[in-house]
Chain A
């Protein structure tokens, strides 16, 4: 197990190095930020001075070297636009995204898996068909449209939930959270629901397919032949048998939603990182883009690593396979 962790940590480090290069190069290719940072009426001298100060006069490899060296020391650079450390900028926005994404993904997983198992156990029932119909809807309707409809229905028409913003927040461990206040919670409902729909549809499909397969397996037949009740079979056999694909998708979705909840954050004017990255792309705020993408890569690597560890916890065959190698 230790060898596995070390091996994966080295792999992760390599991925991070390669990713940081790709990101740096990609952002470099997007365009020259100088034209946006400097007012059009600036003199040549001022221009030269800014370029030198931002380190944009150095050759590319040197720029990357400085960036990587600073990165290793935990310095992600300063935003050209806000003129503050990038890490602080992203750190200030991250809790908002984090709480929104976690709430929506947990909700999507718990309800999606429950509904999916129900539909898998009773595939012919009317409720199962309704669930599957809803999941197709969840897949096919575009997210931004659902967001608008949610606002129109629940905020404008019924006036139950607010249409946007984060609401009241409360400081816990030095971070602002809104899900801990009643008002903040009411602000989170609609965007979380909006984010959750697609994932819930996916979880329903996964859980249903897995359950149907498991219910037909010899494991379940054998358990039934031993007189084990259906509830116990579902809880102890089926739930475990279907968990691996569900955890895989959970990890992938968690990563991609954390990084790219942009559409929902924009519609509900949720002050998360998704909005930050879009804004910094429009103004070519290079340090923010680079840091954000590197952090995203890091989040993905960490999530995948955790998912692999969880697999090994669930499946003894993976554990012993690794001991041998």
Chain B
């Protein structure tokens, strides 16, 4: 089966007055139909910019400067904006972190859904309302038709995110980029949304890129994980394997710094230092200055090593399992 989305050496740069910032650096991955990949990293690692790049939504001074994004076989990089617009929402959609910010507070849910519907389909008002109500029902919103007349502030946080999800699903896209969709929600609601998204992905065969800094959430939904650091994907592999046996010291650091990787009463094991400024990346491996295993070799960029369905960029890959209690 050919992948529904294939990203090769994607590169997105921002040309600011202070210098050029390479937010996405030779990122490659692919997604099969219905597959969920977790894109994990600290804030500022380029996860979200990667997501926006896939939809061609990079505003000046940013620009996609290289690589390729193939969606259902069609090249999106370099595609004219009007053509790209016709793809957005229909073939590839996006969900954001905070639904209170993404939904317009001054318009009803119905108005916003119909706007998204009308972007790609011409329907009678009647048919359009039916479709919207149906879409709301699908994400588990009770008395959907009546709720179309409600405003975003009349929904709870979890319900608002469901509305956003239903808008993203309106045209049954092949791929959804979910940018931290549960971060702004209560933990109990998070689990609900994760379960629901998993179900919807299976039901409609939607492939998903789940962007998150939270390994625990990602481990609950993604089949594969890609770990990003300073604009590069440093490690990918099946979720369970990456969590059980990280090969890149950075992935290991992320796992170790999760609260339940530490016995109660002990200080959390943080990764020493902080992410370098994207303006002044160290030569070679960007993680080297914070890495316990760094050697002189790390001043050049490590090639991608691939083995048994996994890949990593490291001169000193780890081979012991991570601490107990992380995998679930």
Q: Which residues of A contact B (CB under 8 A)?
A: 124, 217-219, 221-229, 232, 236-237, 240-241, 314-317, 320
Contact = CB atoms under 8 A, between A and B. Distances in A.
B101 A217 contact: yes
B72 interface: no
Pick the 9 closest A-B CB pairs, nearest first: A227-B89, A225-B94, A222-B102, A218-B101, A227-B88, A226-B89, A226-B116, A316-B151, A227-B119
Given A221-B57, A226-B89, A320-B153, A241 B119 contact: no
Contacts of A317: 105, 151, 153
Contacts of A241: 104, 106
A210 to B, nearest CB: 13
B176 to A, nearest CB: 10
Given A226-B119, A226-B167, A315 B93 contact: no
A225 B85 CA distance: 8
A219 B101 contact: yes
Given A317-B151, A320-B151, 19 more contacts: A217-B101, A218-B101, A219-B103, A219-B104, A222-B164, A223-B104, A224-B88, A225-B57, A226-B116, A226-B167, A226-B168, A227-B87, A232-B119, A236-B111, A236-B115, A237-B104, A240-B106, A316-B106, A316-B108
Interface residues of B, number: 37
Contact of A227 (B102, B120, B164): B120
Given A218-B98, A226-B89, A236 B119 contact: no
B84 to A, nearest CB: 9
B96 interface: yes
Nearest to B90: A227
Interface string B71-99: 00000000000000111111001101110
Contacts of B60: 124
B234 interface: no
B88 A236 contact: no
A228 to B, nearest CB: 5
Nearest to A314: B106
B100 to A, nearest CB: 9
B304 interface: no
How would you classify the secondary structure of chain A's contact residues: helix, strand, loop or mixed?
A: helix
B107 interface: yes
A320 B150 CA distance: 11
Contact of A316 (B52, B105, B170): B105
A261 B98 CA distance: 47
B168 A221 contact: no
Contact of A228 (B57, B87, B94, B116): B116
Contact of A226 (B88, B154, B177): B88
Nearest to A216: B59
Contacts of A314: 106
Contacts of A320: 151, 153-154
A7 B29 CA distance: 62
Nearest to B56: A224
- Interface centre among B55, B106, B107, B167, by most chain A C-beta atoms within 10 angstroms, is B106
Contacts of A316: 105-106, 108, 151, 153-154
Interface string B304-323: 00000000000000000000
Contacts of B115: 223, 226, 228, 232, 236
A224 B87 CA distance: 11
Contacts of A227: 85-90, 116, 119-120
Contacts of B164: 222
Contacts of A219: 101-104
Contacts of B151: 316-317, 320
A170 B31 CA distance: 74
Contacts of B87: 227
Contacts of A218: 96-98, 101-102
Interface in B151-177: 151, 153-154, 164, 167-168, 170, 177
Contacts of A229: 85, 119
A172 B97 CA distance: 58
B50 to A, nearest CB: 14
A221 B85 contact: no
B106 A222 contact: no
Contacts of B86: 227
Interface in B54-69: 55, 57, 60
